[in-house]
Amino acid sequence: MSGVVLDASAILALLKNERGAGKVAGVIANALVCAVNQAEVVSHFVHLGAPIEDVRVMLGALPYTVVAADDAMAWEAGSLRAATLSAGLSLGDRFCLALAKRLGVAAYTADKAWRDVATEVAAKVVIIR
């Protein structure tokens, strides 16, 4: 079983060597990432103009495991909409939380707004900065 689930913002902090990168580096070898969050990271770099093959190599070098989003996770992520709306969480954010809840592990994120909803959605959240 994984030790943590990483949000796209945590992966981006690591790759861009932003504040909080050290916390992510310390757990990445034992981390899972929902495929939806992986897509967010890919999208970020493609939007910046990075060739898709370069992005594939960059992310392929990271030791986390990508987990496919399935029907049960989709229902859980969808059900979190009402509880996370006021904090502005995205669909990708909710998939990350759904995976973390499923596994009973912490979700690592750079988004401080998650702190406001963690208790309500019954998820463990670690804010990396």
pLDDT digits over 15-52, tens only? 999 999 999 999 999 999 999 999 999 999 999 999 99
Give the predicted TM-score (pTM) of the model. Answer: 0.95
Collapse the DSSP code of 126 into the 3-class scheme (helix H, G, I; strand E, B; otherwise coil) and give the result. strand
How far apart are the C-alpha atoms of 23 and 41, rounded to whole Å?
18
How far apart, in whole angstroms, are the C-alpha atoms of residue 87 and residue 85?
5
The two most distant CA atoms of the chain are separated, in Å, by 40
Token reading at 128: 């990396």
Predicted local confidence at residue 1, as pLDDT: 55
Taking residues 82-104, what's their average pLDDT?
A: 96
Q: What is the pLDDT of residue 70?
A: 98
pLDDT exceeds 80 at position 67: yes
